[in-house]
Chains A and B, each alone.
Chain A
């Protein structure tokens, strides 16, 4: 087995074994604490340009199957595991993870003290890093890391969005249609909508207001995705136009940040982010706690308590992470818009927050009823 090294931008280096493809890769090092769901993690576009450290030591045990990917490819820029599986065991597995990583040219490293690395990232914050199995000279790799791009200030949406619109049809009869802006959407999201009779028209992130309105959808969905939301000015402008028109909006993750910015809030980078499937989020409406899937390095800066007056009326923080009081959801009172920072579509992760898709469908249902009785105050102005 060949050697590999992992070098962090502050110089801390870990020596291990080459895993996946042989080569050299750069990205922001983040740790993910999920104990299941590595296939979903790897294929989640939100991990674009990130090197993911799995805290769970055994990775690859269930191989790779044809059903669980969250997009058409692996997006992580590098992969760090402690003990890769030598043997795949699952009835749905089609190939091993090692094969899949090599096939998709994903450079990884194994056999390092992933807990030490995680503690380092926790204490010092997420940072740039490289994995190399071709250049084992620490100084040389460190110099290259110093020259690699920062995550803060990166606009990555263009890398991950669909080039052409496509449609995911509702299961059975279409009750509603949604125009989904793809900032890096996961496969499970339109699937969750389809389960509730929603047909999704997935649009490139560069779509104009007219492109979106031309779909004639009942609502707009803002997807998850990678990068710094502070760079998403075009998306923010688009959403402000939609808000003006009282178009129902539901956002997830990056979509929450875009909606937040459109409402006038700022965003900021978390020290090491939330990347896991065990995060306690409280729905402030019901007081109930849901265990949720998270994958975000940035968050919305909004007052937790009370309502905030915005250009589009009152807005409140609807969900909060109980670990660290980070804003996990927004709800507008005077316009039909809400969003969450975490992942109700799960994949990977618990299904506790799936009710948000129901809330979305209910919102569309209420509006349809209202529109039919002629009392709707929405629509285009």
Chain B
């Protein structure tokens, strides 16, 4: 059945901001879909609120709408396209995660699809509901003769507790229609049942939970399936979770293909999976089904299905080379699997099941350090923020690579100290070493890094069976870890490290760094490498080919292995540029950096280079085998990257490596690569160091005549106090040895300083604390610019909506800057030029300034791609990362202006007076975390970044753009209802006007006593409501009861103290729980009021990015003549 000709214009729905449970895998799938559908000749419109995605690049769709993913805005998109004369006739909702699927259901229910005659393709409403509705799904599974756990769908606490009693209160609670396991949990007794059910009912948009008999401890598997409209079905991949049932699959270490199933068991799973898919009626496309198997008797239970492309689909695609999203898009427009060619072999059809001759391991990346107090125990509720995948020829090799891809303090076994009996750091002395029993106890609780405990327990003498018993991890996997332990012991004990032993260690995944940790006399990692290279031991590179070498592969998608034959093909005549990616997503380093890397690939390929990508993040566009000319799926450690460079040098000419686009990860490798003789392109490592070294950077500033806030360093409280007294409070304090705002805090008084120093355990002569003057009430300005050694191109100037002191990644910002005059922008441009020159930038530069009392302070300069590059590129219609890649290979800004990659004249600081405003807003994951006691964690912002993603609101006026950004990030701002106001004294003056405006717009105003007094004196009839500490009837109860629509709360008081700070905490967490907007800065309050005003006028419109870019270019052309 060939392509459908009755549809012409397809709307693809993206997945919105990156958050826990829904990350950049949907940029990968959406980008593939857009590419495929356009190549098939369809008109493609796209809606997604996330500007950091590749899919929202204007060249990927005919019309790109960066708008909130709500039914109202999508309807506006449909109406706008219709008005423009090319009506949308179909929507593809299966590639944008749960967000897109839910949106499709909402559009259907709101009658929008019928109203505009729009058809859903790749999905149908009934199938979505059969797959997602737990009871319907269970009925289906039973109907096909497969098993499900005993369960009950409950709408009240009473129903749930009654059922749980019947299965001994060992149950799992899963709310309906949520993603990433949000609101789900386990209970082992009646009390836990009550707590978990209440939470689950609150999390479900339809107040429905499934209470299910626990299969905790069983083995967990997943199948990724695809079906076409002729009912051909293939299983793309089987995945086995190393962590047993009870840990969310997103938080589990997973392995592909399944390792511990006989063919009979596997085929039974396959039969049931296919039967479920057919019965649910997934029309065409991908689907994911989870199974649990009782290891004692093989009993298999079907857990759940996702009738769409999922996180696991992205993993399966990268693990097998079978591009699920791309094929799903083709199937949705009518093709069948046998009509689609397998890209990798370009000879065989897609209607087959990939065969793997390697092992894939995925390990989740967590960020608990960012959320003090959050419970680090892994449950059915997903907590990880990213993941890395690795490929090896056996499990041990893949595991070693995956562990070192994490970029945490531990980089594989033995690279960190063993743990003590309490799970914390080990007190020196044999008497403190934990016993086997203690280690088994620690290993029995699933946490991040549990495998390290398993390994330590094996070394301490625990048996494979004891560990399997304690952890529920299959003994085959435990034995593989025992194998690594044995190899480690052999390395440690051997009189000399022979080439044979070294090779054996490498074949089981040991990094040079791990071997160095075991053999201190080898002079570290570098010494091990020299020894290894002297012995001629290098990895070979194998191909991911979907077919275990049965057919020749045409796609250079490689992974390293210590095996005998390499498959790296000789290059074409073009010279090669290696681009280093950014590794697993984490807070502070996410999709934005992948965006820049992908852009570099595109630009360099267009410029005639052969592009080589190195990355280990399976969720990204950069690790799509179609993106670069060659893909190496490898950890981003120095050792692994050096071996890729070696292999590429063996097969041709390497022009150099780009380290400045993938964030901190590749940046950290630049100097080492240069020292190893590898040409580093663009900004040199010395310049990077210069910008990071306080003293050196201070000299650059003084030579340029620029100033930074007064600062000093201290190694003790006494010193810190002296510095702070000299500067004056408030001060910004942070440790000197971390980046990205980690451990940074603003302290307002000596008491705060003292408690900060007391808690900063690692302070000492080598690890000083930096104390900076904190510029209260300053406007923070963020700049992205390009410099080629001569000219500066100011990419964009962003004005933060929150005051300085909130991490730039967490604060909202506007471009063009809404309150800065052209003289300030000129000043910023001039300062940026001086910095770029002084630092020696050759590519992108990000600078953060603070404007306080008309004085421009330089806060920080980073000579690399920043998080805001995609936002600026989209807002100003100039692709900065592409230009940076060109500068790295020697092009000048003048040349790029001449060829049209940069505007011929002017820059991002000069935008037309009527240019629309782009507002970036951060998305925060607070609702995902809880303390071990089950309480929410505080949602307050500070100098340490906590957001997982971002959205862009885009409109002709600031208020609407801000309102759109809020709607995209948190749900719409209310245009009527009740507002609760509790404002810190220092903010009260600034808050009066906006609150009064809300009152005038008809909002009911609730306030705490102090705030209410001030408001009343200013003519706002505020009603007093009790604080949380005032007992019953307080504001927290009001919020939780759903009686409040908006919370304005600016925090005050010191963290950890009782009193106002704690009240604020309770209020903010209640708002998070109730799912209502909670604004914590007075600036955000002011912006929101402007937004609410615009919303109440009800004239909000949408426009495509392309139309905006067209207008900007026309203006620039006009200006240039």
Q: Which residues of A contact B (CB under 8 A)?
A: 14, 31, 33-37, 39-40, 55-58, 61-62, 65, 67-68, 82-83, 85-92, 112-116, 118-119, 122, 276-280, 282, 287-289, 291, 322-324, 346-351
Contact = CB atoms under 8 A, between A and B. Distances in A.
Given A85-B476, A323-B349, A33 B231 contact: no
B264 A289 contact: no
Contacts of A88: 476
Nearest to B504: A111
Closest 10 CB pairs of A and B: A37-B263, A87-B479, A116-B565, A55-B548, A348-B263, A89-B476, A113-B564, A36-B263, A278-B353, A33-B355
Contacts of A351: 267, 270-271
B756 interface: no
Contacts of B297: 91
Contacts of A34: 263, 355
Given A39-B263, A323-B352, 9 more contacts: A35-B355, A91-B298, A118-B550, A122-B552, A276-B548, A278-B353, A323-B349, A323-B551, A350-B270
Given A291-B234, A322-B338, A62 B565 contact: no
B271 to A, nearest CB: 6
A290 to B, nearest CB: 8
Instruction: Name the residue among B257, B264, B548 with the largest chain A CB count within 10 angstroms.
Output: B548
Contact of B356 (A35, A67, A89, A291): A35
A115 B354 contact: no
Contacts of B567: 119
Contacts of B564: 14, 112-113, 116
B549 A87 contact: no
B248 interface: no
B262 A92 contact: yes
A57 B359 CA distance: 8
A118 B263 contact: no
A68 B549 contact: no
Contact of B549 (A14, A40, A119, A291): A119
A31 B552 CA distance: 15
Nearest to B1: A287
26 contacts: A14-B564, A34-B263, A36-B261, A37-B263, A55-B550, A57-B357, A57-B359, A57-B393, A62-B261, A82-B394, A86-B483, A87-B475, A115-B549, A115-B565, A278-B547, A280-B338, A282-B338, A289-B337, A289-B338, A289-B349, A291-B351, A323-B349, A323-B551, A346-B267, A350-B267, A350-B353
A310 B233 CA distance: 35
Given A118-B548, A289-B337, A87 B351 contact: no
A253 B464 CA distance: 43
Nearest to B552: A122
Which secondary structure characterizes the binding site on chain B?
A: loop
Interface of B: 230-232, 234-235, 238, 257-264, 266-267, 270-271, 295-298, 337-338, 347-349, 351-359, 393-395, 464, 474-476, 479, 483, 542, 547-552, 563-565, 567
B394 A87 contact: no
Instruction: Name the residue among B352, B395, B479 with the largest chain A CB count within 10 angstroms.
Output: B352
B542 A115 contact: yes
Contacts of A92: 262, 298
B565 A68 contact: no
Contacts of A279: 352
B563 A68 contact: no
A82 B392 CA distance: 12
Nearest to A41: B263
B267 A58 contact: no
B479 A86 contact: yes
A39 B262 contact: yes
Contacts of A55: 355, 357, 548-550
Contact of A89 (B263, B267, B395, B475): B475
Which secondary structure characterizes the binding site on chain A?
A: loop
B356 A58 contact: no
A31 B261 CA distance: 21
Nearest to A114: B357
Contact of A56 (B353, B542, B548, B552): B548
Contacts of A58: 259, 359, 394-395
Contact of A83 (B261, B352, B394): B394
A35 B296 CA distance: 23
Contacts of B394: 57-58, 82-83
B26 to A, nearest CB: 28
B536 to A, nearest CB: 16
A37 B464 CA distance: 25
Contacts of B395: 58, 83
Nearest to A291: B353
Contacts of A62: 260-262
A33 B338 contact: no
B355 A87 contact: no
B357 A322 contact: no
B355 A322 contact: no
B261 A118 contact: no
A57 to B, nearest CB: 5
Contacts of B551: 122, 323
Contacts of A61: 259-260, 476
Instruction: Name the residue among A34, A39, A115 with the largest chain B CB count within 10 angstroms.
Output: A115
A90 B260 CA distance: 7
A76 B551 CA distance: 24
A107 to B, nearest CB: 21
B351 A289 contact: yes
B349 A118 contact: no
Contacts of B552: 122
Contacts of A277: 263, 353
